[in-house]
Structure 1
Amino acid sequence: MKSTYYLLPVVDLWKVRETSEYRVVYDTRGRQSEHAKHWRDGEILDERAYFRTITEPATLSIDNISERDEGDYRCRIDYLKSPTKNSLVRLTVIVPPQKPTIFDDNGKEVPSIAGPYVEDGEMKLTCMVSGGRPEPSVRWWRNGTLIDSTDRTTSYKNVRTNELLVRNLQREDQHAVYTCQASNNNISQPVSASVTIEIYFKPISVEILSSNQPFSADRSYEIPCQSVGSRPPAQISWWMDGKQLSNHSQQNSADGNVSTSTLTLMPTRSDNDKSLTCRAENTHVHGGVEEATLRLNVFFIPTLELQLGKSLNPDDIEEGDDVYFGCEIKANPQAYKVLWKHNGQVIQHNQKAGVIVSNRDLALQNVGRNQAGNYTCVASNVEGDGISNTVNLKIMFKPICRSDQKRIYGVARHEQAQVLCEVESFPPPESFKWSFNNTAETIDVPQIRFKSTSVLSMSTLQYTPVTEMDYGTVMCWANNLAGRQIEPCVFHIIAAGKPDPPFNCTLANQSTESLQIECIEGFNGGQQQSFMVEVFDQQNDILQANITGSNIPIFTVNGLGAGKILKILVYAVNSKGRSEPVLLEGFTLKIAEKQTGSPTEFTPMLSVLIGIMTACLFVTVIIVGALRMKGRRQPPHQPSVMPLKQKPPISLPLHSESEELKDDKNPDVIPANKDSDYQLTSATQTPGERTYSVHSDDLHTLQGTPIPTIEPVVFQNGIPRDQKIISPIVGNEVTYAELCLGRPLTESAARKDDTTIYAQIDHNRRPPPPPVGVYHHREVVTVRTPLMGCQQESCV
């Protein structure tokens, strides 16, 4: 430090400094003061020392004073006429210390920032100061506040240190400024050095910012997690049951105090009830880990596993056994509805029928073959419907005949027929047996005559009739593991012939240019049949339309022209020829004529005529009504009848499958005999046929008059040709019958009276017994079955 010091003498005279080393003399003898001589002895002061005579008092100035300039200064004044005077002045030179240096606990100099330190840790700083006279004192200050600390000397000369130790660093210590100050006087400013400390903090809190709403399986969600208070910003990671997840991103706030991570999660049903953890970690701080955990509540569609009862052998279930299923359901939330399905149809609880349904179990008591098939269970919750696996229930049952197979084979002599026998069974049949039956005998068919295929559950018999006795009935039995077929499959071998004509033909949808024909097909003659129709103009007998090759007797004929009267012929055709035609009469509608001319004006005369006609019409209606009321009265002895509006429209099944076998050359006939009972029966022994009897004594018309003589009724396939019989059946008995006589083809042949006769049948009433010795004639009409050997079309 460069300074100038002034030595003031006691008296106002010239000053001289003299030491043992050098001496400075300022001589003014015999001269004026401006010509005084300044000289020095030695080079120590050099040019730094000089006198000032201008000022009062005069001073000795020393520039750039140093430590070695310290000492005693003597001022001697010599007078010409007076004694010499001397005075001593003590010069003390203060040397300030050098700028402090701060070191960390590793001995590394800290320039301006100390650390980083960790939260709850300690900080140790050492301030070192060298030089200074007198020895300086070293102190620590924090943000302008003196810290109680003690300095000490070191083994090094003129070096002093002060060690600062701060324990349990907290967040308020972040960026605190610590200053080391050295001072040895009150004149000059103390020297100092400052550092700012940096501290790393662990996260204060971690939170998953998600509501408590449940998640749906297999849907994507974004779940945020926020960490606060970490310095530097925490690294956020996601974990699920110890497995780290990777599909997330992180953002930090500008000051680094808040960190937010967003996880993209698509939970599955297996993630339900798992723990999702958000972990915020500051790796610079020991123990700087904070976690937040979320228990996943994942909603998912129910998953079901259907199993057959553990005690059941799925390959050994027979008819009559008890079967039960178990449905294991995993669902969140719990299923509110459980359904059981058999072949896609919902199973209803019916304990009387042996079907017991619960949410998780299904019991089938005394199972039948119709209960075999695929079983599933369906459970529903708010997420949707879950379907179980399919369990196929196999029920062993004896073979039975397929219902939709061909039963009648029309074969010519020396023609080979392929009779196909198909059965339903489980397991598939192991063997088949065939038998032939005619009127003379029953013969077992040798195995070489037929070929069986157990995989397809069928057997084929190759049969060739040679004589008339070779026509009859063949029967087929199958055997499987469950046993032998109880009821055989029955096939009829008949002589092939032409088909019967269709019946019950009606016209519908008649328009100006088209009409529709609908019939019921008749017996096909043992061969596959088709149908054809021919439409003629009745006036000129010109063919208008011809439709062939239809598999069903339903035709739509177009392009006929308006206002025509038509003759329609319907045929059935097979390989043996064409049937007799069914003749129908029809017409097409006329085109409406345009009305032209002026409107009719009502004159007084016209009004009178209209009034007279109205009165006559009214009187006629009254007379007709009275006559009808009189005709409806019944004799007291006649049973009551069902009114026309209340007759039930139920058809009476008068024929069975075997009754379709008829030779159109000899149709069945019901003789016109009022005294006999009409009975329809079958000569075959095929199970399931029904026989109905109608007693003519019990038939009465609604008008109370006796039944007129009925013409012979021709039966075709068990139904009277061109007639209808409609009767309800109660307890397998006929309680009501409707006989509809055939309508003539032309209007001239039409009867004036009603062709429909209604009768009430009393089953409890029987005709009186015939007199002794008198034979009561009773005609029995049967439908011909050619295979059973009856040579007559009807047996009386």
Structure 2
Amino acid sequence: MFQTLKTTDRFGEDWATRNSHLRLVRIPAEMCGREGAGPITEVQSVVRGTAHLPCDIKPPIPNDSVTLVVWYKNDVKPIYSLDSRGKVSEMGQHWKDSLVLEERSYFRTVTEPATLSIDNVQESDEALYRCRVDFKTSPTRNLKIKLSVIVPPQKPTVFDDRGTEVLSVAGPYQEGAELKLTCVVSGGRPEPGVKWWRDLTLVDSTDTSSGFDNVRNNQLRIPRLDRTHLNSVYTCEASNNNISQPVSTKVTIELELKPLSVSILSTQSPLSAFKEYELICESYGSRPAAQVTWWKDNVELKNAIQKVSADGNVTTSTLLFTPSIKDNGARLVCRASNLRIEGAFLEDVRKLNIFYLPRLRLELGSKMNPEDIEDGDDVYFECKVDANPSAYKVIWKHNNKQLQHNQKGGVILSHKALALQSVKKTQAGNYTCVASNVEGDGESNTVILKVMYKPLCRPDQKKVFGVARGEHARVMCEVDAFPPPDDFKWNFNNSADSMEIGSNRYQNSLSLSLSTLSYTPVNEMDYGTVMCWASNTAGRQRDPCVFHIIPAGKPDLPYNCSVYNVTVTSLDVECMEAFDGGQPQRFQIEAYDELSRMLLVNRTSRKPAFILEDLMPGSALKIFIYAYNSKGKSDSITLDGYTLKVAAKQTGSEVPFAVTSIVLIIVVASVVLVTCTVIVFGVLRVRSSSSARSPNITSIGFKDKSKTASSAHAMYDPDDNNPDIIPSSKDADYQLVADGAKPMTENTIQTLGRPSEITPSAFQVNYQGVPLGVASNGDLYENYKNVYHQPPDEKTFKELGVRYPSLEPVVGYVPADQSSIAPGGGLVPLHREVISVRTPLMANQQESCV
């Protein structure tokens, strides 16, 4: 229950008039104190500030005086007194409760009214104070003062829309974006008010409770930021009294601005093709500085130099531009962008007018699908000519070859169109049109005509695979097709059965138009023919790719061997490859000195081509060449070789000789006469030599030493009567094996009284396949394809019975297979020889092949 306080004292003076700076409030009756109800003066003070509690000590009547002033807190006990009784001093005796006020208070009587000042006010000082004033003659006066202690709020904290505390600068925000800043204030008694100010303008004073005790907030929201908000300062202010200064936090707004303008300052029209121009573009108003780029029909031009003004407001870009014939009508764009703001760019566009050669655009007919043209469809091209000046002639090209009008052949030409009736896959390729005007010839873009066709087997594939039982083979089926194949199917066929091969046994590489079959024969019935079919959008392959799986065997011997490029210390040997037996093959050459029978050269190669070097001048050689693979070696082919002699030095003293015109004529005539004689005699000798040869003799071996020596002497004697320009590498007994003739056996040779001849060391191979003859392969032989691998090591050579290759001569070499040595030290000759002789002075031109 509250009661109304009277505002006049007993003398009728308006107390409120005399104390107009104080507030009168209604308080409950129970708070009026022991002395009854009376007016209450409310005083406010801020924590850590100074409170002045008023007390009217002026006597109510003249000639009266104050004898005692006592201050009570909450009417509990005295806390301060000023005692003038007994006249201790003129000012009276001051007393204070040290536990309540400590040294923070003092009662001042010189002010009007007198005040009890309390320094460094604390929250505990808030209470209802009573000032009792005793006069000499007047009644005691009681005054009540309610001290309210104000607790200021804490400094505001500002958060952005992502919940991040903003210390001093908010942003950067993009121009046009929405700004949301929330100011949060905690503490304060009474609750503070939270306001946003921009400079001296109040922006927002609507604060709300955040849901937490003694915490209030106010959100500043600007729907769209513009340039006026750049570097603007917003202040969040919190206050709960009029005594102390409000607490506040200032935030500066940082903005990223879009460019205000962009313009191309220098353009010339028209521009000449292939002439360089300097174009300038300028932009201002962007923050940060604009990025200026040049574009031509959406293609960025890189050769530009950019400069930014000192204040960062103006960006200037200089482009070195050389127009081409295709730039006529193109859009030249200068674009100024603020890369930090999405879509923040401005463009200045110029349409180029270029004097140029004809510019053409070649297109397929508008109703044609370039990805769906099949063999036999009709195709229509349209050539769009853009020339300045106009073109007077148009020609058409296919794969850079000019097309001619051929209506019967289905090629129909006009000035702006080309029609191909019943197009064929051979007509696929690149098509262009060329137009001419006074500036010259201009060529169009290239249109690639893609003609879909069913898959076809690629040529030059390996079609014969020699595989042993249990051995793994990888058969690759490659096709040509457009579009690339989307599936492969395999089938196996032999004389007894035909069946489809499961997809788990092959792997398709459709992007390479390739399918690889993994095949391992287990028994004889697994040998036969495998076929693959590919299919694509155009359909299934008409004729399959056929591959033959045969038992692996030894390779056939090389053929058509030749000796050429004979020098003093070297010679070249080259043969043709024969069937490889279905396995990768290599070739080995062994060269022996014909007199000493010493091994001079032992070498292998992937190709049957060898260069024999570092030989002794004037040497006679016996050369053996054979092929081998993992299944064994072929028969050997034997060749005779030699090196040229070193020219003998002339001795005797030099005789001066004067060359006159008569002597020169005589020498020339003599040379011509001798040359003609030698040529005629050589032709006659070759014919007589050819008629005397027998076709049924085996290849040459080493003769006995006496006969070999005489043959060598006859070959290299400078006084030889042989009129041939080219020394013969064969002795008088040289014989060849004719095609189809039966080779002579060792017994036959001994019967004829001829010693055994040397052959390369034979090696034995335990081969479990079906060997193939030299000329019995048929079409399989024609389709063989070799795959070369790394050369085998020495262990592999020993397993195959092949001499490991070495370039060092072997002294006293004895063949590994002693059983092949004939009586008398000779070796068993081979059953067949194919000899090819080439004239050394005629390089690679074949003279004869037997």
Give the alignment's TM-score, normalised by structure 1. Answer: 0.40
Structure having greater relative contact order (Cα 8 Å, sep ≥ 6): 2
Structure showing greater Rg: 1
